[in-house]
Structure 1
Amino acid sequence: MTDKLIQRAVDLISIPSETPFGENINEKFEYCEQALDYLEDILKAMNAKTQRMVFDGGHPKWPYAVPNLYAEIEIGNYKESDPFLVYMGHIDVVPVGNTSQWKYNPFDASICNGFIYGRGATDMKTSVTTFITSVEQAIKDKTLEGKNLKIGFIITGDEEWAAINGSKKVLEFMKNNDKIPTAFIVGEPSSPDYLKDYIKVGRRGSLIGSLTVTGIQGHRAYKELYSNPNRPLNFALNLLNSIQWNDGNEYLPNTDFEIVALDAGSENATAIIPSQAKATWGIRYTDKTSAEELEVTLNNALNDIPDYLKSHPDYKIYKEFKENNKIKLVCNLSTASIPYFSVPNKLAYSAKKAMQSVLNHTPIFDSSGGTTDARFVHSFYPNADIIELGVPEKGGIVDGNIPTSYGTQGGMHQVNESVAIQDIYDLAKIYQKTIEIYAKEN
């Protein structure tokens, strides 16, 4: 299986399947189709039932067409009361950026010093080919004999950008066709450094927005000529930064607010007070709240000033700007990514046992990191188990030797993106053993 694992990873990475959005959209779409063709041929050879589907529209900003692949394999005498495990992955990748910074051709996968280099090596083409190959091997080894199980595959061409017409639409298709999975494995990178460390069981949602204060531009030395927006903006940000949430758990961090960027004056002259000051902010939030509830919370914080802040020298200025509608809060609700949390259950503990067996190490259940397509699952299947398990985010470490550029190159979305070959071998064993344990009786 080892040669097949590496060759398939190399083949898929070498297809330049950037998300089919922006420039050269038709060409990108065709490359995504080509990547799905490659995987569908493998799945058909495994006697899987496959279905291709293209979705478009559904959003005023991002209506572009997205190719998707759904497949399923029944093991034994499967019936609806038996386990139905679905793998979710994507073959679209982010742009490579400045190719002159790459040591290796990003779309001609290279093997060097125990790593495979190329765009998508970490996120997440290697995981896709590894899971499919591990299922193939389990069937060949007959390790699932005597077990009744269905294994499904959702492979999309759009996870990296809008994710409007990808996994979410395939899940909707499954729901409408009375397909009821019991659990999902999402093959996203799941540990920062070592494969053995974590299994994801949740991710916080993301809400982005802005706070804009409008004043009057004027000469710094003449107070009668300007109305400075920076001071009320600073006061407002203090109000928002003071909000505290206590809605996390042992696996999922609390909701939190952070300022992402500040923009106040671009004249490059110290004697000019700007007419506008703007802050871009971001909230990562748990499954205990929603983007709409957060919008209410932020507005309440801007309106209900604590008594201790009313003695602040900028309070009167802030109050004047607020009363004159010069302070505008915007929450980008249409682009918010929802959170999810899956209480560790049968699938999570199956993966944990598999990792203990393969790596002789006990992983930790974790919910850190950015959003993934796993967030869509509970909208359709609220009782399904979900885990995320894939190669390390930073590209991996071989034999304890940390690459000189580790952390700045080689990781997901970075220049010279890479994956350690040993992690591919280990992940294949983990996937196969997880399926075998999960397929057993409770």
Structure 2
Amino acid sequence: MNQVAELANRLIEAPSVTPATGLVFDVMEAMLAPLGFAVHRFQRGSGEVGTDEEAVENLFAIRNGPAGSRHFAFAGHLDVVPPGEGWTSAPFAPEVRGELLYGRGAVDMKGAIAAMVAAAEHVPQDAGTVSFIITGDEEGHAKHGTRALIDFMRDNDIQPDLCLVGEPTSVHRLGDMMKIGRRGSTIIWLEVEGTEGHVAYPHLADNPIPRMVKILAELDALVLDEGTDWFQASNLEILDMEVGNPASNVIPHRARARVSIRFNDCHTGESLGEKVREIAERHGGTTKQVIYGEPFLTPPGEFSQIIAAAVKAETGLDPEPSTSGGTSDARFLRAVCPVIEFGLCNATMHKRDEAVALEDLDALSRIYTAIAKAALAAE
């Protein structure tokens, strides 16, 4: 087993279903402290378990270079999704079978964090400042995670020049894709109030369902945009409609629905919320919205060229710059400095028997080393 796999092994062995605290951060600190990093850990959130106020642990580690040198940040998360049933081996007892390392988080994203730690060991301290922005709340509510780390950096006047997030971006082979942006995400809840009554006397009632159907039909017919140079078209999806009426002779008094919108930089979450609200109100409905992230783009340029060169040198591939997929904590970090995501193959993330190729771990560490060195040397 190579060095990176051994580090990944140690992280996988520490169960860290989101939101993560405790042991997995002890393991991370024990890896970084011997490399000269000053490690800062703190928790945010203290409310009821299972809510968005549940306690989350975060870690910021920094190794300062010479005064005035550039600052390169690695970012990621130690929390994982619940493993579920049906694993061939225990999800938090990592096991090598053939050329693969199995365990929850092997791909998303303890393997990448292990590669980052191994890479940092090979970046000379006099090359510049290197930091780690690591949260225990990316797979969950993401309320007290990376956003709290950004607050910590601002409060301490810490400003990275570039940030690399280690999400599993590769599709078929390590190095075939990097993410230079992500679409925004919002959920909107819809409600229509009516008046209940007997089905035989509809004139004495007000059925909310036909009005909700009209709202959803109008939303479903929307063409939000045709896409842009770097983003696919925005899409609105109806996720749920419920009335909760167990009776066969009662007109219900309320209908509810829920829609999701993944949107590009033609829109903001607020502007889309207003569009949906106008449609709902036209038919007597109301809305409630949560915006999980705005779209962002790090336009192709020096940073993407640095990553592409490092990937090409190691794998022979030219990584495709993409904005596909869901959201990540890069949606928050983009407010700090230019950010790009690059990591392992994503075929088994969030699946049972999640696994990473041992040779990919080693190769990813070399790519991360080259990226960090080049980013610190850039003007």
- TM-score if structure 1 supplies the norm length? 0.78
**Paired residue for 1:74, among 60, 64, 71?**
64
Query: Matches of 2:127 and 2:88 in 1, distance apart?
Result: 47
Cross-structure match for 2:350: 413
**Contact in 1 for aligned 2:191/2:254 (Cα 8 Å):** yes
Query: Matches of 2:353 and 2:199 in 1, distance apart?
Result: 48
User: How far does the alpha carbon of each residue in 1:21-44 deviate from its partner, in whole angstroms, 9 at most, with x for none?
Assistant: xxxxxxxx6xx3221121212211
Query: Is 1:86 aligned to residue 86 of structure 2?
Result: no
After superposition, the CA RMSD in angstroms is 2.7
**Paired residue for 2:295, among 339, 350, 361?**
339
Equivalences for residues 226-241 of structure 1 within 5 A = 227-241=206-220
**1:161–1:262 CA distance, 2 compared to 1 (3 A):** same
- TM-score if structure 2 supplies the norm length? 0.89
**Paired residue for 2:323, among 336, 356, 367?**
367
The Cα shift of 1:188 comes to 1.0
Equivalences for residues 372-383 of structure 1 within 5 A = 372-379=328-335, 381=336
**Contact in 2 for aligned 1:342/1:387 (Cα 8 Å):** yes
Query: Matches of 2:346 and 2:197 in 1, distance apart?
Result: 49
The Cα shift of 1:259 comes to 0.7
Q: Name which one, 1 or 2, has greater alpha-carbon Rg.
A: 1
**Contact in 2 for aligned 1:346/1:385 (Cα 8 Å):** no
Cross-structure match for 2:186: 207
User: How far does the alpha carbon of each residue in 1:161-187 deviate from its partner, in whole angstroms, 9 at most, with x for none?
Assistant: 122222211221112222111110011
Equivalences for residues 14-33 of structure 1 within 5 A = 14-20=13-19, 32-33=21-22
Query: Matches of 1:16 and 1:207 in 2, distance apart?
Result: 30
Query: Matches of 2:74 and 2:47 in 1, distance apart?
Result: 25
Query: Matches of 1:272 and 1:423 in 2, distance apart?
Result: 61
User: How far does the alpha carbon of each residue in 1:247-267 deviate from its partner, in whole angstroms, 9 at most, with x for none?
Assistant: 853222343211112224553
Cross-structure match for 1:263: 242
**1:114–1:266 CA distance, 2 compared to 1 (3 A):** farther
**Paired residue for 2:361, among 424, 427, 430?**
424
User: How far does the alpha carbon of each residue in 1:185-220 deviate from its partner, in whole angstroms, 9 at most, with x for none?
Assistant: 011111333322211111122111222233455676
The Cα shift of 1:329 comes to 2.2
- Specify every segment of 5 or more residues in structure 2 that has no aligned partner in the other structure, as ranges: none
Equivalences for residues 226-305 of structure 1 within 5 A = 227-246=206-225, 248-265=227-244, 267=246, 274-302=252-280
**1:64–1:281 CA distance, 2 compared to 1 (3 A):** same
Query: Matches of 1:265 and 1:178 in 2, distance apart?
Result: 52
Query: Matches of 1:203 and 1:365 in 2, distance apart?
Result: 11
Structure 2 counterpart SS, 1:92: coil
**Contact in 2 for aligned 1:265/1:273 (Cα 8 Å):** no
**Paired residue for 2:36, among 33, 37, 47?**
47
User: How far does the alpha carbon of each residue in 1:97-149 deviate from its partner, in whole angstroms, 9 at most, with x for none?
Assistant: 2x3x121101101111322111111211111111111221x24xxxx59x732
Cross-structure match for 2:129: 150
Query: Matches of 1:177 and 1:247 in 2, distance apart?
Result: 42
Query: Matches of 1:200 and 1:215 in 2, distance apart?
Result: 46
Query: Matches of 2:267 and 2:4 in 1, distance apart?
Result: 41
Cross-structure match for 2:148: 169
Structure 1 counterpart SS, 2:2: helix
The Cα shift of 1:288 comes to 4.8
User: How far does the alpha carbon of each residue in 1:223-270 deviate from its partner, in whole angstroms, 9 at most, with x for none?
Assistant: 55764433222211122223333385322234321111222455386x
**1:70–1:303 CA distance, 2 compared to 1 (3 A):** closer
Query: Is 1:125 aligned to residue 110 of structure 2?
Result: yes
Query: Matches of 1:176 and 1:345 in 2, distance apart?
Result: 30
Cross-structure match for 1:310: none
Equivalences for residues 385-404 of structure 1 within 5 A = 385-394=338-347
- Specify every segment of 5 or more residues in structure 1 that has no aligned partner in the other structure, as ranges: 21-28, 305-317, 395-410
Query: Is 1:62 aligned to residue 47 of structure 2?
Result: no
Say how many residue pairs are matched: 378
Query: Matches of 1:387 and 1:363 in 2, distance apart?
Result: 12
Query: Matches of 2:47 and 2:238 in 1, distance apart?
Result: 31
Greater CA drift, 284-293 or 414-423 = 284-293
Query: Matches of 1:195 and 1:111 in 2, distance apart?
Result: 19
Structure 2 counterpart SS, 1:332: strand
**1:299–1:196 CA distance, 2 compared to 1 (3 A):** same
Q: Counterpart of 1:332 in structure 2: which amino acid?
A: V
Q: Counterpart of 1:41 in structure 2: which amino acid?
A: A
The Cα shift of 1:156 comes to 1.5
Q: Counterpart of 1:151 in structure 2: which amino acid?
A: V
